[in-house]
Amino acid sequence: MDYISALVLRFSLLLIVETAMAIDTINTTQSIRDGQTLISADGTYVLGYFNPGISKSRYLGIWFGVSVVTPVWVANREAPLNDSSGVLRLTEKGTLVLLNSSGNIIWSTNTSRSPARNPVAQLLDSGNLVVREAGMEQNNRNGLVVDILEVT
């Protein structure tokens, strides 16, 4: 195998491995757009966008399992997106916000705690979505900085 072929093969394998690795955490420089997901570390829960049945409305939610979308929690239940332009972001203050195509906030988390200095949002194996200080263990209750979004 020549040098160029070997490089192409290595690069291709790297891309396959990278795309196959599911992420369960985002920070303030990342976002979740329609078509992207967070998947809990054990693969049990998925956070992403979906439309129920034949509806054209799009929702951000958490569902059980990877193949069939059966939502257990919905963020924008009262303000569905009209298209696939939704963006979930984590602000510097540790607030999760869902933006529509105009950049308007249509849903956000509520928090009564002081903001984290370096917040991350993580989808736990329990299906709960938490915002915590980066570097804190998920089971360290002092690390949680916003409400836990619990699966209903």
| pLDDT tens column, 13-47 | 443 433 446 899 999 999 999 999 999 999 999 99
Q: Helix or strand or coil: residue 97?
A: strand
Query: Is the pTM of the predicted complex or chain greater than 0.85?
Result: no
Task: Assess if residue 150 is contained within a domain.
Answer: no
91-139 pLDDT, tens digit per residue, is 999 999 999 999 999 999 976 566 678 999 999 999 999 999 988 765 5
CATH at 61: 2.90.10.10
Task: Assess if residue 151 is contained within a domain.
Answer: no
Number of domains within the chain: 1
Q: What is the rounded CA–CA span in Å between residue 88 and residue 135?
A: 22
Task: Assess if residue 133 is contained within a domain.
Answer: yes
Which domain does 68 fall in, by range? Answer: 23-143
pLDDT at residue 81 greater than cutoff 80:
yes
